[in-house]
Chain A
Amino acid sequence: DVKVTQSSRYLVKRTGEKVFLECVQDMDHENMFWYRQDPGLGLRLIYFSYDVKMKEKGDIPEGYSVSREKKERFSLILESASTNQTSMYLCASRDNQPQHFGDGTRLSIL
C-alpha cells in the first residue's frame, strides 16, 4: 500500500511567519504534488515536482515555494504566511495514475 505522510495534521501560525509543510512518500514515486482544499472550491494545484530538484508551478503558486532535495520528500513553503493561506493542504504522489494522497494538514494563520 502506498503511504503518503504529512508531518502535521494541524498547525497554527502567525501572519508573516515562514511556514514549512513536509510530505514523505514510501513508494519511490517520481511525481509529487501539493494542493489546497477550500470549501466550495475543491482541490487546487499549487506546485508539483517530477524529479529531485525539479518543480513546476500549478494553478495557484503565488505566495508559495517548494523544495525537493530527496526523492521521497516534498516540502511546501509559505514564505510569509497570510490569513488567506488558512486552508487544508494535501500532498500526493504517483508514478502512473492515480495520485495517492496524504491525510492533509489543516493550517490556520492568525
Chain B
Amino acid sequence: QIQLVQSGAGVKKPGASLKVSCQASGFTFTDWGISWVRQAPGQGLEWMGWISAYNGYTKYAQKFQDRITMTTDASTNTAYLELTSLRSDDTAVYFCARDQKYSSNWYDYWGQGVLVAVSS
C-alpha cells in the first residue's frame, strides 16, 4: 500500500535548521512529486513548496524562498525538507504529501506529520 513515513521531529533552537525526511513506498517514487505543508499548533494549513521527484524541479512559497531547500533521493525513495534560520513561529507539524510530477496539483497521500518545536 502507498505510504509516506516521516522522520525528523524534535526541538530546535532559534537560528538552527530543521531537516525532515519523507520516505515513500508502494508507488514509483520518480513518477510523482512531493509537496510540503505545515500546520502551526491550533492553526490552519500552510503550503511551503513542491518538488518533482521526476526531474528535481521545485516551487517554493515566496515567504520561505531564502531559507528553504527541498530535495529527493531516488535511491532511497526519500524526500527532504530543510528550513534554516528557524524562528519560534516555525513551530509546527510538517507534512509531506504525494503530488504530481510536472506541477503541484493535489495531494492524495500524506505522511503522518512531524512536530518541530523551535524554542530556546
Interaction A to B: no
